[in-house]
Amino acid sequence: MLNSNELINLIKEYNPKCDEGLIARAYDYGKNYHEGQFRASGEKYFNHPIEVAKILIGQRLDDTTIATAILHDTIEDTKLSIKEVKSNFGDSIAILVDGVTKLTNLQISSGETKQAENFRKFIVSMSKDLRILLVKLADRLHNMRTIKALPVSKQLRKANETMEIFAPLAGRMGMQSIREEFEDICFRVLNPEARNSIMRRFLKLKNVNVDLVPKIIKDIQKELSLVSVDAIVSGREKRPYSIWRKLEEKKESFTRLSDIFAFRIITNSEGDAYTALGAVHQRWRAVPGRFKDYISQPKSNGYRSLHTTVLGRDGKRVEVQIRTKEMNEVAEGGVAAHWSFRDGELFENPFAVDPLSWARSLTDGFEAAENPNDFLEHVKLEMYNDKVFCFTPTGEVIKLPRGATPLDFAYSIHTRIGDHCVGTEVDGKRVPLYTRLRNGQSVKIITARGQRPQINWENMVLTGRAKSAIRRSLKHERRVENIRLGNAIARNAFEKVNKKPTERALVTAAKKIGSKTADDILAALGAAELTGIELMKLIYPEMFKGENLPEYSSDVISFVGLPAGAKGKTAKCCKPLPGERIVGISRKGKGVLIHAIDCQQLIDFEEKNENWLDLRWPEKFGTEGYSSSVIVTLLNKAGVLGKICSLIGEQKANITDIKFFEERADYYIIYIELDVRNIEHLMNILSAITADEDVAEASRHRGSKQVFSSVTPTNSES
């Protein structure tokens, strides 16, 4: 373990003016408070914060960040208080140490919903000062370097979390070397057989291509000298996980991969970078589709470089990256380059991205997201996906994840444009909204004021921003429909108990189920989360005690043809209605059960003729409705359900229940229970529904709500 003087000397190599007193004081505090603590490997615990500090020294970071690294575990693991840190080291270091402690305490690898909420807190917290995340990444990197000391179960959990969260975060920040080390360590833990296989094939390839890297470096240097470009040329071998990922993505043989060996040309100016590119392409044939210009179109983390792949010695593919010294510092350190020192001064790299802008690109519009899972989905997409760059008709560049569609493009400009999108033109041609965009395309969005997001849009988009906006709009549209439908159900329920519907009564019911407003209770009714009778029980519980229970259906009737004094009860399996032929089945001690003449349950009584009674409906059926139900297949678009409910209302029928049984991108099937006067009334309702252009099918349904059973449910009353 380094002592304080050795640590200070490492800092002074890039920052001769470093605050030696601050670093020495932090060292002494950390060593004192961690005294007697040991890691799982058996080494002294204080070695860990010193190694974390060394990683950040390698990024040439400022004294405040280095001191934070030394103290980052003191609040969590020792008796040192944040108040004492603030008193001895100032507000800045205290805030950073406290921030790292809070990130450490968030259990990101918990259940999915909790993970999403914690990850949102993680991103929002670290976005206040990205140095918090820099220390946390260095902390995780050293923990991963020493992961073998942990039990296998903990190794797997830590590796999964690192691969899913910390590695892509490091990559998104532009810290590629840290990302690659994360991935390779995790690869070794999670898939050791695959890694060993890659290593064996790689060593075999190296033996065949002895001195390949030095020879290619020499070839490149020769070409650069011919065009008078002074540059540093280097070559390196890719890490095993990077090679394995390319094999999985490209489905190519190991020997055909172009980036097992990567070469880098570091020039003094941007002009020299393009001159070097020309020299490389003039000397070797470029591989089509493998050139990327991140200088003219930099990545969101500030990364700038020219990438090309050429056919080098013996026709082997060679990947070459070309950039300036300043670009290389950003490529190596990413966002950390904002705090990088050079010769004792904070170096203002012109290509370093503003940390606040970078953090805002992740959190913009999602800090107040209703659903934490939307936020997690958005940030993961932001971290994992490569970018495509498309243009608005005015030439503005829009960055999107690879695989994004014109709908993503529309929502990235403004939510209102996305919501009102009716079509798109890509490079002047009309294309479907689900078209996958490619680099350099020009996209024009066509809008219409009356347009609203459709339910199948969610499957067309890729970005979290678009998904969240579409879900929010659909939820609002559905709520409006549910409130309208709930109004009709509530009005019918109040009429049943001879009460007048009032907002105060609805608010009273809402409070009893944990809601707040009358609209909440109406929305619950419309969504079939609550029935009319359940609403009445919430408002008038006294009416539902004993004999006070109101009759909600006329299922006990004096039918013509019944024995003297007998009453008939309509069967639930077929729900017969006045006006259709009926038959009674006599049951010992249970009265007479009335079936429609075509009821399937009558098959069970074919051999029991003595039980059959020829019955007719009485001439006067009374004023109350009879329960019946229909099945309707609707087109899945805004306003259709409300329109169907209005049609039923126009036919003077009351809806008592609605259930959704199947919901697809283009249609859904609903079960509607309603009160009707007779069979003629029901047929009129079905005619009105079927005539609507947005209805695919409508039919009477007999029996229970289990509408997809091909066999009529057994009649429990028989």
Buried b (16+ CB within 10 A) or exposed e, 547-562: eeeeebebeebebeeb
Residue type, position 292, single letter: K
| pLDDT class of 411 with cuts at 50, 70, 90 | very high
For the whole prediction, is pTM greater than 0.85?
no
Name the residue ranges covered by the structural domains of the chain.
Answer: 4-190, 209-346, 472-548, 556-615, 626-701
pLDDT (average), residues 313-342: 78
CATH annotation of 209-346 = 3.30.460.10
Task: Give the C-alpha separation, 60 to 705, whole Å.
Answer: 69
Task: Give the C-alpha separation, 318 to 312, whole Å.
Answer: 6
Q: For strands 591-596 and 568-570, give the pairing.
A: parallel
pLDDT confidence of residue 165: 79
The region of weakest confidence among 44-48, 590-594, 686-690 is 590-594
Examine the pLDDT at 600 and tell me if it is beyond 90: no
Q: What is the pLDDT of residues 346-405, one digit of tens each?
A: 666 666 666 566 566 665 555 545 555 565 555 555 555 556 778 888 878 787 887 899
Three-state SS annotation for 489-517: HHHHHHHHCCCCCCHHHHHHHHHHCCCCC
pLDDT (average), residues 204-221: 79
Q: What is the pLDDT of residues 249-277, one digit of tens each?
A: 555 555 555 457 789 999 999 999 999 99
Secondary structure percentages of the chain, helix, strand, coil, to 5: 50, 15, 35
pLDDT: is 308 or 538 the higher one?
308
pLDDT confidence of residue 52: 94
pLDDT: is 322 or 330 the higher one?
322
pLDDT confidence of residue 548: 41
pLDDT confidence of residue 556: 55
Examine the pLDDT at 115 and tell me if it is beyond 60: no
Q: Check 19, 20, 77, 425 and give the catalytic one.
A: 77
Task: Give the C-alpha separation, 86 to 92, whole Å.
Answer: 8
pLDDT confidence of residue 712: 34
Instruction: Note the CATH architecture for domain 626-701.
Output: 2-Layer Sandwich (3.30)
Q: What is the CA radius of gyration of the chain?
A: 36
Examine the pLDDT at 54 and tell me if it is beyond 80: yes
Out of 3.10.580.10, 1.10.4190.10, 1.10.3210.10, 1.10.10.10, the CATH code matching 4-190 is 1.10.3210.10
Cβ proximity of 468 and 369 under 8 Å: yes
Q: For strands 443-447 and 429-431, give the pairing.
A: unpaired
pLDDT confidence of residue 559: 80
Residue 635 three-state SS: strand
Q: What is the pLDDT of residues 120-133, one digit of tens each?
A: 666 666 666 778 88
Examine the pLDDT at 170 and tell me if it is beyond 60: yes
pLDDT: is 297 or 567 the higher one?
297
Active site residue 223: no
Q: What is the pLDDT of residues 642-657, one digit of tens each?
A: 888 888 888 888 888 8
| pLDDT class of 31 with cuts at 50, 70, 90 | very high
Which two three-digit tokens encode residue 348? Answer: 């203002």
Task: Give the C-alpha separation, 470 to 410, whole Å.
Answer: 12
pLDDT confidence of residue 252: 55
Which two three-digit tokens encode residue 478? Answer: 């559905």
pLDDT confidence of residue 339: 63
* Alpha-carbon distances of 78 from 24, 35, 37, 141, 701, rounded to whole Å: 19, 9, 9, 22, 70
Examine the pLDDT at 21 and tell me if it is beyond 70: yes
Active site residue 77: yes
pLDDT confidence of residue 446: 93
Q: What is the pLDDT of residues 532-566, one digit of tens each?
A: 888 888 887 766 654 443 333 344 566 888 877 67
Task: Give the C-alpha separation, 55 to 50, whole Å.
Answer: 9
pLDDT confidence of residue 718: 34
Q: Check 13, 28, 43, 76 and give the catalytic one.
A: 76
Three-state SS annotation for 355-400: HHHHHHHHHCCCCCCCCHHHHHHHHHHHHHCCEEEEECCCCCEEEE
In terms of Cβ atoms closer than 10 Å to its own Cβ (0-12, 13-18, 19+), residue 479 is: middle
pLDDT confidence of residue 264: 94
Cβ proximity of 210 and 306 under 8 Å: no
Which two three-digit tokens encode residue 65? Answer: 């960040």
pLDDT confidence of residue 127: 61
pLDDT: is 707 or 207 the higher one?
207
Cβ proximity of 45 and 39 under 8 Å: yes
Nearest to 294 by CA among 277, 317, 318: 277
Contacts of 414 (CB under 8 A, 6+ apart): none
Examine the pLDDT at 716 and tell me if it is beyond 60: no
Q: What is the DSSP string of 409-449?
A: HHHHH-HHHHHTEEEEEETTEEE-TTPPP-TT-BEEEEE-T
Examine the pLDDT at 626 and tell me if it is beyond 60: yes
Top mean-pLDDT range of 311-315, 606-610, 616-620, 651-655: 651-655
Q: For strands 397-401 and 387-391, give the pairing.
A: antiparallel
| pLDDT class of 677 with cuts at 50, 70, 90 | confident
| pLDDT class of 709 with cuts at 50, 70, 90 | very low
